[in-house]
Amino acid sequence: MLVPLSFARNLLENDRIASAIEVKLKPDASIAKAQQRIIGLFGDAFEVKDAYQQKAFYFRMLKYEKWVGFMILAFVLLVASFNVVGSLSMLMIEKKNDMSILHNMGADQSLIGRIFIIQGWIIVLAGAFAGMIAGAALCLLQMLTGFVPFSTSGSFVVDAYPVALRATDFVMILLSVTFISLITIYLPVKYFVKKYL
């Protein structure tokens, strides 16, 4: 809420002080240089902070939120990978006669295991790439339109939830999917190949 200075002083019963003075810069101005000039004028008697420094806690929380969200989604991925285990196990049970035929024709256990591991990888990687494409599309949509706004509009430097597409995020997602699926595919394939051959 904006009110005249005289009204605010009268309301607070204090004619001599102001808790803060806001300075609005031109769009192309350097915030760091402006801070240094203001500090040069008034010395260390005042704190000179930009909008990010004033809400540093909130922006730190946004950074931590990303990693917490990543860990939660990795756990969801771990739980969802049991679907892949289930579908791969059912496929191997269904194909046990075919596995026996291949084994009788000279295919060893490792070759038959590799066939089903590749089948599992195809399922997992198709899901991973579809998910990354959908996620990138949502991020681009948020960057262009800001369809997910902050609940307290006007309190932050930006009105919409900030997102960015980073190659490192995609690599982390792919590594997580690879690591989790490596374990969840290899173990059931090894078990069923030994059981049926």
Per-residue pLDDT of the chain (197 residues; tens, 9 = 90+): 677 878 877 887 777 777 777 788 888 888 888 888 888 887 777 788 887 788 788 778 877 888 888 899 888 888 888 888 888 889 999 999 999 999 999 999 999 999 999 999 998 889 899 999 999 999 999 999 988 887 765 666 677 878 889 999 999 999 998 888 888 899 889 888 888 87
Helix (H, G, I), strand (E, B) or coil at 149: strand
Main-chain dihedrals φ then ψ at residue 149, nearest 5 degrees: -85, 165
What's the pLDDT at 154? 60
Residues near 2 by beta carbon (within 8 Å), at least 6 away in sequence: none
What's the pLDDT at 2? 73
Give, in degrees to the nearest 5, the angle at Cα 19 between 15 and 21. 105
Q: Specify the pTM.
A: 0.64
What's the pLDDT at 156? 61
Residues near 132 by beta carbon (within 8 Å), at least 6 away in sequence: 170, 173, 174
